[in-house]
Amino acid sequence: MQVLFSQLRDAGFKQWVAQLESQRSSWFIHHGDFRRWSEALSMLPDIVDINSYFDRQAITIEGHCENPQALFQALKALMPWRKGPYQFANLSIDSEWRSDFKWERLLPHLTSLENRRVLDIGCGNGYHCWRMLSLAPKSVLGIEPSVLFNLQFQAMNKYLKRSDIHLLPIGIESMPADMNWFDTVFSMGVLYHRKSPIDHLYQLKSLITPGGELCLETLVIDGGKGKVLVPPGRYARMKNVWFIPSAEELAAWLQRCGFTNVKIVDITATTTDEQRVTPWMEFESLRDSLDKENNALTVEGLPAPKRAILLATNP
């Protein structure tokens, strides 16, 4: 973390770093499960002769673990694993989301990340942040308020000890205004949780350096410009979904916010191959959110989840 703080100070964000340092001791301690999760993290056994791979479907640590049962028990205690997959020595973590599906959809369209500063907003446990390392960025920062996701990230970095990737337990509201420092910003699976999506797009723009790229991934509905779904209550059993536009309407929002080179590069329906119950996430998942008689609808009778990826430039 000190490497990140040093970089931010050098970039002129000394006041923000001081604020982060003053909050650091209280980031996790107020969560009721922190002690249990922290103990699980401390029980992770050594893995030796490590090689790491970030260009595979699973974020992979190859090496020898002399106590695989302790490894299994410690990582099980950090359930649920919602984003992944991961590989710790000979132990595979089959997460709820096959996050590699999304990565493979966006990767062919993405501007090279080589030597770029990258920010991933609402990054979960950092799966996509790890995948980005295969593209040789200068640095990767993920922000994610969830305590559990932060500790899952720490479980991986306990072994890898990378100084070019960091995760902060904060939301976008805690980022400096008009930062304009990141060459590439990802916002994936966040927009539909925002009560004011236009404000979110302006916040994203304020974080990107001139000429930098936004990768925006979110729920969409079918239709052209002007089409927006505002769920009257829950959507696919989620209570915090506010606005789901069509991809074309979302592109218009981006243009209205001042982005250029706006491109819709992918639209894909979410399937139960991509999001599902596994031994590492045993709660209800997508299949429980769809109408049992018609999988084109959610249990609320709304269009089933479909997700779009858009790229745009901050001029």
DSSP 209-243: EEEEEEEEEEE-BSSSTT-EE--SS-BTTBS----
List beta partners, residue 91: 88
State the SS3 of 156-172.
Answer: HHHHHCCCCEEEECCCH
pLDDT value at residue 196: 97
Contacts of 118 (CB under 8 A, 6+ apart): 129, 132, 137, 139, 140, 141, 182, 183, 184, 185, 186
pLDDT of residue 25: 86
**Cβ distance 242 to 193 under 8 Å?**
yes
Residue numbers in the chain where pLDDT is lower than 70: none
Give the C-alpha separation, 231 to 60, whole Å: 39
Beta carbons of 105 and 309 less than 8 angstroms apart: yes
Distance CA 140, CA 185 (A): 10
Q: Is 214 exposed, middle or buried, given 0-12, 13-18 or 19+ CB atoms closer than 10 A?
A: buried
Per-residue b/e over 262-295, b at no fewer than 16 CB within 10 Å? Answer: bebbbeeebeeebbbbbebbeeebbeebbeeeee
Residue 71: predicted pLDDT: 98
The one-letter code for the residue type at 121 is I
Strands 83-84 and 165-168: unpaired
Q: What are phi and psi of 56, to 5 degrees?
A: -105, 165
What per-residue confidence (pLDDT) applies to 1?
85
As given in the structure block, the two tokens for residue 124 are: 């979960």
pLDDT at 2: 87
Q: Give residue-wise pLDDT tens across range 136-184.
A: 999 999 999 999 999 999 999 999 999 999 999 999 999 999 999 999 9
Instruction: Quickly count helices (H) and strands (E) in the chain.
Output: 9, 15
CB 234 within 8 A of CB 290: no
